[in-house]
Amino acid sequence: MATHRNGFCERENFMTKVKISLNDFKRDRTLSQHIQQSKQVARALDAKNPTLPYARTFNCYEFEDFLSQLTPKRFELLRLASKGGRSIADLAIASKRDPSAVSKDVARLSKLGLVRVDSVPNDGHGQKKIVTPVATTISINASIAFA
């Protein structure tokens, strides 16, 4: 609701409080899975493990090799998929690319461990592949060594 006072517009904000209980986590498969993964990561941190579960590392020693693997078009697919699991057809439309080219790039990203591809029922049309990034953040560190 907007109210006017002295020529200025003020907006009243209403917040809705929602209580989430432990039962909600038990009933929702995604929340339950997230809790289990979080516990595994916490245990690994407590044990000072050198690697964490669900973490992926892509190492490349030559910058040119890295660029050949994570091309701008593949990076764009990662960016588009990060907005929520999207089908290969949706990615092709959003990136204005041919679906077969997108499918090949998604297969390469999957082989690199950067995305997960799940087949789900497509109402009346068989199966469709949903692409989801495995990480919410990708960090790129580069150092230049002079010989």
Q: How much of the chain exceeds pLDDT 90, in percent?
A: 21
Instruction: Tell me the C-alpha distance between 48 and 78, whole Å.
Output: 30
Chain segment 10-50, per-residue pLDDT in tens? 445 556 777 777 787 778 887 788 788 888 888 988 888 87
Residues 19, 32, 79: CA angle, nearest 5 degrees: 95
Q: What is the pLDDT of residue 10?
A: 47
When pLDDT is cut at 50, 70 and 90, the band that residue 1 belongs to is: very low
* Token couple for 17: 């409080």
Instruction: Tell me the C-alpha distance between 75 and 9, whole Å.
Output: 42
Residue spans of the domains in the chain: they are: 1-55, 59-147
CB 60: neighbour CB atoms within 10 A? 14
C-alpha distances out from residue 23 to 17, 31, 147, Å: 17, 11, 60
**Non-local CB neighbours of 142 within 8 Å, separated by 6+ positions:** 63
Fold annotation for 59-147: Arc Repressor Mutant, subunit A (1.10.10)
Q: What is the mean pLDDT of the segment spanning 83-110?
A: 92
pTM of the model: 0.55
Of the listed ranges 52-61, 64-73, 82-91, the one predicted with least confidence:
52-61
Q: How far is CA 28 from the centre of its chain?
A: 20
When pLDDT is cut at 50, 70 and 90, the band that residue 56 belongs to is: low
